[in-house]
Structure 1
Amino acid sequence: MSNVLRIALVDPNDKSREALKAMLVSMDTIWLEADCSRYEFFPDVIETTAPDVGVISLDSDPDQAIALVSRMAAEAPSTAILAASESADGQLILRTMRAGAREFLTLPAVGEELDAALARVSQQKFGSAESGGRSCEIYAIAGATGGVGTTSAAVNLGCVLASDPQNSVALLDLDLALGDADVFLDSIPDYTLADVVQNVSRLDIQLLKRSLTKHSSGLYLLPRPVELQDALTITEDSIRKVIGLLKASFTHLIIDLSKTYSPIDMAAVESATKVVLVTQLDLPCLRNVVRLMMSFEEIDDLSAKVEIVVNRAGLDSGQISLKKAKETLGREIFSLLPNDYRTMVEVRNNGVPLITQAPKAAITLAIRDLATRLQGKANAAEAAGEPGSEEAIAGESKWKKFWPGAKA
């Protein structure tokens, strides 16, 4: 993902302002922070929102607009100014660039020209992909079945990531009926996902953060709706918008999925950088992992994003061996979370994360290791040259050979 540019726009002409807004909000790498219809109000907008880019349309009053360009270039040097006009007059362009505009865009804007201009601004602001600003990592936490510990993994992973002052981390609870991430954090949120969805078209980044519940660990929480019927207001499109807004606001987004793999869950999965598939070492779980991976292979690039994490490893009562599990799955296990029932019951009942309740426990160290690995190489198993990565089997999905009744 490219760095997301936060933009504020001023244009007294309603028609051209709405047209430019429509183009901006359609771009994945743009978040429209604010729009304004009066030149004289724009300095206050810039001071309040501190956007990456200020777009100033010149045509309503070129002299006043160019004076505004000069003022903003002096007073808000961290905000790149992009001037826009229907005129391609050389003198106007020269005056505007001398006043401090970084780019000049001819209206009506063509998508490719706008994209190229903003890409140059992004390059100037963030630098190259190798040395520039950070993009948002999105980790979707999925379960092979109910009760395998996805919420505990999501909450504690989020708290570990948030403990790093260089990170800003949000947790989105997508178990719309029975989610309990708020219970794990002992939080009573003022707002829920239903509230944010209802107002998503009017939200800016500051208002969004005020709608989230901030935990003492630094983790921001957006919980599931309180009333069951409120879940009906949440759609695939609204979830994509919420994720886009969160992506523009945080360095890391953790999404705790439901176990239904609904269209809403799948919209979140497709947006993820990584899909952490949590399982246990028993036959129903491993069978479901195979089944899920068969389905994921039908979606472009999805199976390559999946990392399998075994929870409650070391529970001796009837567990399938790790070696047998690897043979069944046909790929390596990305991470192991040890069984520590007593500690996990304490943190759940107390509403305190592992890094606070039991910072030196083996399960806490394993969560820290999981966070480190997720932020490391794109695919740890492949990078290490381990077997069972992506090769096909006899021209068919490698997962089919493990499924009863499927032809090998």
Structure 2
Amino acid sequence: MSNVLRIALVDPNDATRESLKGMLVGLDTVWLEADCSRYEFYPDIIEQTAPDVGVVALDANPDKAIELIQRLASVAPETALLAVSENTDGHQILRTIRAGAREFLTLPLTREELASTLDRISHLKYGSSEGGARVCEVIAVAGATGGVGTTSTAVNLGCVLASDPQNSVALLDLDLALGDADVFLDSIPDYTLADVVQNVSRLDIQLLKRSLTKHTSGLYLLPRPVELHDTESINAESIRKVIGLLKASFTHLVIDLSKTYSQVDLAAMENATRVLLVTQLDLPCLRNVVRLMMSFEELDNLHEKVEIVVNRAGLDSGQISLKKAKETLGREVFALLPNDYRTMVEVRNNGVPLITQAPKAAITQAIRDLAAKLQDQLVVPDESEASPEKAATSKWKKFWPGTAKAK
């Protein structure tokens, strides 16, 4: 599990409280345990949640807030207290620090300033680690069409990543109607995504882990709901909250998307570090890849995160050559997964991952190579790719019938 700082916030001012909440939720290495709008209720929250960090906004009532900090510094010394205020008066800053605040932050606060402050607290609490704090890598696995092997790729990639003792890995099944990640892992979960969504506002990291099903490979699974009507409570906003909590709890999160590209799927893709688009070397699949990539260009920062993974490469009949596929796609293929129908049928029917069922098979080695490649490379958006001029002349359109003539 990541070194996550659990935070409780108090600010009677609705506007600044919401702004601080949004900034905290956007950080991968923190979990917002609670937020409070009344100074008098905050000590009870600190007692009940015992957070690592308490953030106290002063501006609603500086004297009352400083008295609160002094009280908490005495009764909850394990909680590092941060004061935030628009007032930069030296006398107030001195009073706040003397009361027991670890640091004084000036509003308006930037994300970088907040992250740097929390990093210092994390360093004091957990000590230094090689490479610093780990940010969760979120890998969304999508398909160019149904039946291309999206779930098998997601499940086996998750198991390979989890086999590394330095990683803690969760798998989220977002195929809400027909997902079968639990079948691949031969698991009968006690809880599903619907249970977590219904209780997300009350969950903490420890309770979340108890809600997941741990496989023998070390992979944690959060499966799709059992009943179809349970999917009604799952929307884009609730998925963002669940992903935020999982990001704060694990070093890697693998998301198996549905084939509908719904608002839930798109929310997951927006929060992903990398999106693997799984396809096969046939015309319908490649045509869908081009179509999807055109659509992804319309969504902020999504196009740059997508990598093409060709599954069942080397199938004897009916496949387009890899060279021709690259010409059609206009880009390189990130990874090739070889065709091994017999092994994959055994894996699925036995509910055993590749690294256990067939550790020496070529398909297993290909999944290991994919995992290694994902961990070695970081996504660095190309500013030239994201420029308005670049976006206005999409290179994908020349591969789609009718669009070239429309220019």
Q: What TM-score bracket applies, with the shorter chain setting the length?
A: 0.7 to 0.9
Whether the 8 Å contact between 2:215 and 2:221 is mirrored in structure 1 is yes
Aligned pair partner of 1:26 in 22, 28, 52? 22
* Deviation sequence 1:79-102 (CA, Å, 0-9, x none): 532146899886664354246522
Deviation at 1:23, TM superposition (A): 4.0
Deviation at 1:113, TM superposition (A): 3.4
TM-score normalised over the length of structure 2: 0.83
Return closer, same or farther for 1:41/1:232 CA change in 2, 3 Å cut-off.
closer
* Deviation sequence 1:125-151 (CA, Å, 0-9, x none): 4579x9531111111100011000000
**Aligned-partner Cα distance in 2 for 1:407–1:90:** 64
In the other structure, the counterpart of 2:132 is: 132
In the other structure, the counterpart of 1:385 is: none
SS in 2 for 1:113: coil
In the other structure, the counterpart of 2:12 is: 16
**Aligned-partner Cα distance in 2 for 1:309–1:143:** 9
Q: Comparing 28-37 with 254-263, which one deviates more in the overlay?
A: 28-37
Q: Partner letter of residue 16 of structure 1?
A: P
In the other structure, the counterpart of 1:406 is: 403
SS in 1 for 2:176: coil
**Aligned-partner Cα distance in 1 for 2:307–2:112:** 35
Deviation at 1:4, TM superposition (A): 6.9
Deviation at 1:321, TM superposition (A): 1.2
Q: Partner letter of residue 324 of structure 2?
A: K
Deviation at 1:20, TM superposition (A): 6.7
- Is 2:202 aligned against 1:202? yes
Q: Partner letter of residue 241 of structure 1?
A: K
- Is 2:117 aligned against 1:121? yes
Whether the 8 Å contact between 1:59 and 1:85 is mirrored in structure 2 is no
Q: Partner letter of residue 349 of structure 1?
A: N
In the other structure, the counterpart of 2:70 is: 66
In the other structure, the counterpart of 1:45 is: 49
- Is 2:259 aligned against 1:259? yes
Q: Counterparts of 1:74-85 in structure 2 under 5 Å?
A: 76=78, 79-83=79-83
Return closer, same or farther for 1:95/1:175 CA change in 2, 3 Å cut-off.
same
Q: Comparing 247-256 with 34-43, which one deviates more in the overlay?
A: 34-43
Return closer, same or farther for 1:344/1:105 CA change in 2, 3 Å cut-off.
same
Identity of aligned residues (%): 71
Residue segments in structure 1 that go unaligned for 5+ positions in a row: 383-388
SS in 2 for 1:225: coil
Return closer, same or farther for 1:282/1:148 CA change in 2, 3 Å cut-off.
same
SS in 2 for 1:342: helix
Q: Comparing 30-39 with 178-187, which one deviates more in the overlay?
A: 30-39
Return closer, same or farther for 1:303/1:22 CA change in 2, 3 Å cut-off.
closer
TM-score normalised over the length of structure 1: 0.82
Deviation at 1:398, TM superposition (A): 1.7
Return closer, same or farther for 1:311/1:40 CA change in 2, 3 Å cut-off.
closer
In the other structure, the counterpart of 1:244 is: 244
In the other structure, the counterpart of 1:305 is: 305
**Aligned-partner Cα distance in 2 for 1:116–1:303:** 25
* Deviation sequence 1:60-107 (CA, Å, 0-9, x none): 58557425315644xx3xx5321468998866643542465221358x
Deviation at 1:56, TM superposition (A): 5.1
What value does the CA root-mean-square deviation take over the aligned residues?
3.4
Residue segments in structure 2 that go unaligned for 5+ positions in a row: none
Whether the 8 Å contact between 1:39 and 1:65 is mirrored in structure 2 is no
